[in-house]
Amino acid sequence: MGSASLIGIDIGTSSTKTVVLSADGQVLAVASQETMVETPHPGWAEQGPEGWVGAVVATLRRALSDADIAPSAVAGLSFSGQMHGTVCVGADGRPLRPAIIWADQRSGEQVHDLVARLGKARLAAWTGNPVATGFMLATWLWLQEHETETVQAMRWLLLPKDYVRYRLTGEIGTEPSDASSTSMFNPALRGWSVPLLEELGLARDVLPEVSGSTAVAGGLLPGIAGEVGLLAGTPVVFGGSDQAVQALGNGVVAPGIVSSTIGTGGQLLAPTRRCVVDPELRMHSFCHVRQDLWHVETAMLSAGLSLRWLRDQVLDGMAYGAMADAAASVPAGADGLLFQPYLAGERTPHMDPRARGSFIGLTRRHGRAHLVRAVMEGVVFGMRQGLDVMLALGVPVDEIVGSGGATRHPLWLQLQADIYNCPIRRTCTTEAAAVGAAMLAGIGTGVFGDMQDAISRVVRRHDEVVLPDSARVDAYARQYVIFRGLYPALVDAVHKLGQIGA
């Protein structure tokens, strides 16, 4: 099977990407298509499930054409998918409404009431995870209160990538890494949390059966195969959550190696050999795509999104590279300016959908470059709070691998090295989530012997190490203490302002 090719599809929030990968790890083609997020009401975030399917069809066609390979050469395909979101599917297999995705904030009241009802101890024991707005459990509870007709007509609740895979194969199902992100799954047991469902009176039969991330879900349906130029029956492997799959694509499948991803959101992911649960529920505990591993994950909602906001609303569409170049001309600490990156609420460590962003310390001397640097530093300070939670729980952190769009400019990498006070390795893997999905396809179809074989054949050596600078480490350590104090000092005022602006 040395000449076999594999396809990985990453269904993200802002775009869908398809990669064609050779069995020896060469990326033969990449195709991408943007996808839009609709906000029909303030704080809402929705996407059309059929829009994902259309983007998959379009990118598959282009990638296969660019790779110039025969359909018979494709051994299989698999998925990486944005986490937490909810697709309500009726008995006819069609979506009943637009998908409510991870960035949605409408279910804040349901989250508050649920946490008050169950308490952190039971949530930790039953699901190992906090409940947040945009998670499937919170969305389901909101739907029960506000869209009873949708709930009554619902046959299945599916995660985004699971809906797309269903449309390609006709088979309903899910797998542990993504199911972990619903807040209805027990990652330690790798199954749906029956005590939680029973306590809340939620129907187990609308949740799909769970299979392994590398299991074959089914074959490509003739209609969709004809549309994209593949053979009917081409094996489709279950896949995984975008974070677990990008970790595989970056070779982060062993304890001690941590990935730091700064894209639209920001995540730190650390593999563990046992299910580690934070009793304070400040971070997440999910299943990895490798069946004998779990991973802890910290999440912030507005990482690159904060920089995009600054670009679009303040800097008149200035190019990201030019923004980072300008920020590099400003001293560490942005001359006393701090930014709280809570433009869409925050998860780790605050788990507060009502958190709001702010600039602190603004003076007449601060210019555009200072604003950019403060935003970038604020994002990494927020990520550092997640790293502190991991370390406090005894999670080993020996090496940090930088990934995501933030690896494109050296300032992002240097900020992480200095603020984390840890060397940062930049991965050579491009489109790590889509490549990781292709690796899952290869494992599931036997092109690769196992996960380690896939990693040895696909994941390249990291091409550079960015070291902390001791002077900046000290400067950031002092500023980080101030940053940590901002949220508790301002939270009451921010919540009151949120009521005015609601």
| Cα separation of the two ends of the chain | 58
3-state DSSP assignment of residue 261: strand
CA distance linking residue 32 with residue 10, whole number of Å: 9
Give the up-direction half-sphere exposure of residue 272: CA atoms within 13 A in the CB hemisphere: 23
Residue 467, classified by CB atoms within 10 Å of its CB into exposed (0-12), middle (13-18) or buried (19+), is exposed
Pairing mode of beta strands 74-81, 240-241: parallel
Distance CA 352, CA 141 (A): 18
Nearest to 242 by CA among 16, 5, 6: 16
| C-alpha span between 492 and 223 (Å, rounded) | 55
φ, ψ (nearest 5 deg) of residue 425:
-100, 135
Q: What is the DSSP letter of 330?
A: S
Residue 222 structure tokens = 């003739």
* Contact present, 424 and 409 (Cβ < 8 Å): no
Residue 124: its H or E element: helix 108-127
| Identity at 31, one-letter amino acid code | A
CA atoms of 265 and 335, how far apart (whole Å): 26
- In the annotation, is 474 catalytic? no
CA distances in angstroms from 294 to 31, 82, 245, 253, 302, listed in the order given? 31, 18, 12, 9, 25
Q: How many angstroms separate the Cα of 364 from the Cα of each of 336, 357, 361, 370? A: 12, 20, 10, 11
Radius of gyration of the chain (CA): 22
Residue 335 falls in which region: left (phi positive, over 0), alpha (psi -120 to 50) or beta = left
Residue keyed to tokens 């991408």:
32
What string of DSSP letters covers 66-118?
A: HHT--GGGEEEEEEEE-SS-BEEEETTSSBSSPEE-TT--TTHHHHHHHHHHH
**Catalytic pick among 104, 242, 278, 418:** 242
Residue type, 65: S
Q: How does DSSP classify residue 38?
A: B
Active-site annotation, residues: 242
